Amino acid sequence: MELSRHEFELLRDYIYKICGLVIADNKQYLIRQRLEPLALTIGCLNFTEFYRKITESSLPPQTKNRFQEQVINAITTNETSFFRDGHPFAAFREYILPRLNERICERKQRLQSRKGPKVRLWSAGSSTGQEPYSLVMLIKEYSQAANQKHQFSMIPVSMEDFVILATDISTEMLARAMAGEYNDAEMKRGLDPERVKAYFKKNGRRWIISSSVRSMVEFRQINLIRPFTMLGGFDVIFCRNVLIYFDIETKTRIIAQFSEMLSDKGFLVLGATENVYGITDRFDSVHHGETLFYQKK
């Protein structure tokens, strides 16, 4: 199916409107490849007909939302893996987790009657779930080691002291993440044999993550171009390789909300090619090993 320049611009503007993604001028092929199957599925013979059908002003809200969801599922990039890039998770384990541990102990001492999670983490743009599940594994391992080492000198830290929210715009990716099932290729990316044995079980050709890991994560659909501060406060926000798809205006709005939601001295972890320079002065830069991340002032 051919895609004219005019059709490309119409669909690019539509995509920006519904999810904020910026499609570069040289990515005409991307729209054609990813949206052609959807256009054919809903009975359209060309992209002009497809655009008119999904933007028809008389569409019932339910149909309009369904088309938007289908386009978002088709157009979004969902590259991920367990412990992706390695070093950000090393920084989380070696630098951030010990400070969260101290924060939990302080809050327990200050609020003896406090119940529920003491620290909240958010994986924004969680795709098929590998990032939040990797964080759970590190928290489990750290909590076990910390309690064994400091069992007589510190207030015990448990998994109940943490809660993780994972969000994505794609309902298709969220469904896969909530299922917690992965194929052999996905398992080989980032997982060592010890963690495979500890956290997964094989069922036919699929690997299923343990219920103790899966139950630690709450999944929700969130579109970052819309207000999201209603999610509440967090101590750590992971938003890696998401902001690269937005323009500066959208990035500024998102970062401002992150800052508002983070606790004092809360942590913001972005992708390797992402930063807050020129966007906000509300964060201090922190270097740990190969990783650069940010701490709220």
CA distances from 107 to 81, 121, 132, 149 (A): 33, 16, 24, 20
pLDDT at 197 over 80: yes
Overall fold of domain 5-75:
Chemotaxis Receptor Methyltransferase Cher; domain 1 (1.10.155)
Summarize the confidence of residues 122-139 as an average pLDDT.
97
For the chain, the average pLDDT equals 93
CA distance 59 to 53: 9
β-pair type (234-239, 119-124): parallel
Cβ(259)–Cβ(282) under 8 Å? yes
How high is the pLDDT of residue 280? 96
Assign domain 87-296 one CATH number from 2.160.10.10, 3.40.50.150, 3.60.9.10, 3.40.50.2300: 3.40.50.150
Determine the Cα–Cα distance for residues 5 and 28; give it in Å rounded to an integer.
Answer: 8
Q: Among 296, 238, 246, 236, which Cα is nearest to 270's?
A: 238
* Predicted confidence (pLDDT) per residue in 238-284, tens digit: 999 999 999 999 999 999 999 999 999 999 999 999 999 999 999 99
- Chain region(s) in the chain for CATH 1.10.155: 5-75
The predicted structure's pLDDT at residue 221: 97
Q: What is the pTM of this model?
A: 0.93
> How does pLDDT run across 198-249, given as a tens digit for each residue?
999 999 999 999 999 999 999 999 999 999 999 999 999 999 999 999 999 9
pLDDT in tens, 44-67: 999 999 999 999 999 999 999 999
CB-CB contact of 295 with 265 (8 Å): yes
Q: What is the pLDDT of residues 139-179, one digit of tens each?
A: 999 988 877 766 544 556 788 899 999 999 999 999 999 99
